[in-house]
Amino acid sequence: MHGSPHRVSDVMTRAVVAVGRTALFKDIVERMDQWKVSALPVLEGDGRVIGVVSEADLLPKEEFRDSDPDRLTQTRRLADLAKAGASRAEELMSTPAVTVHADATLAEAARIMAVRHVKRLPVVNAEGVLDGVVSRGDLLKVFLRPDNDLADEIRRDVVDVLFPAPVEPVHIIVSEGVATLTGRVADATRIPLAVRLVRGVEGVVGVDCRLTGADGRGI
């Protein structure tokens, strides 16, 4: 399925805002505000990602600004208390950084974000050098693909491959990302596979399969 963006490299942002390990707290906040981002990669001199500093890493400074935490809180939130007293990126950052490679699939990137509870992932090469950043919003861009593009890809990469000689023509209509397939095919056993493949096309929201076999039976 070469027509759709399947890899992180297809949707990532290549112009990335980052900071060095000695960046000061206020500079980090100002840069986040200026560029409207919730996290910044922290880089070594050669561009290698050594951590990420996020809003969550910065908030303890405000949370504990005028409080005197009890012993239990001190024990449970030792890391947050340390960040509350930190002033540089190397003291504030979460490390090792949660990253992804440019050739990872969009599904893999989405899974990492969900499991690690992050909104943005630095994209790195084999040496760990920053190539870009991919965000949740970037992953959702696939759902902006025009319906006609989706229909063309479904036709080319699914229908024409699985049903090269249908009993009756297979019609494909995509509306608001929902793909509807109608027609009669010679091999009804392939219909469930067709549904799975159509659902896997990047940008498809749902599938309404009305295909039937030569005997008129559907799935």
181, 161 in Cβ contact below 8 A?
A: no
Task: Pull the structure tokens for residue 68.
Answer: 């005197």
Closest to 200 in 3D by CA, of 115, 123, 120, 142: 142
Residues in Cβ contact with 141 at an 8 Å cutoff, skipping those fewer than 6 apart = 5, 11
204, 175 in Cβ contact below 8 A?
A: no
pLDDT < 70 stretches in the chain? 1-5, 66, 73-74, 218-219
Q: Rounded to the nearest 5 degrees, what angle is found at the Cα of 26, between the Cα atoms of 23 and 27?
A: 45
Residues in Cβ contact with 146 at an 8 Å cutoff, skipping those fewer than 6 apart = none
pLDDT value at residue 2:
46
pLDDT value at residue 1:
41
Q: What is the pLDDT of residues 69-94, one digit of tens each?
A: 777 766 777 777 778 889 999 999 99
Burial, 57: exposed, middle or buried (Cβ in 10 Å; 0-12, 13-18, 19+)? buried
Residue with tokens 């890391």: 79
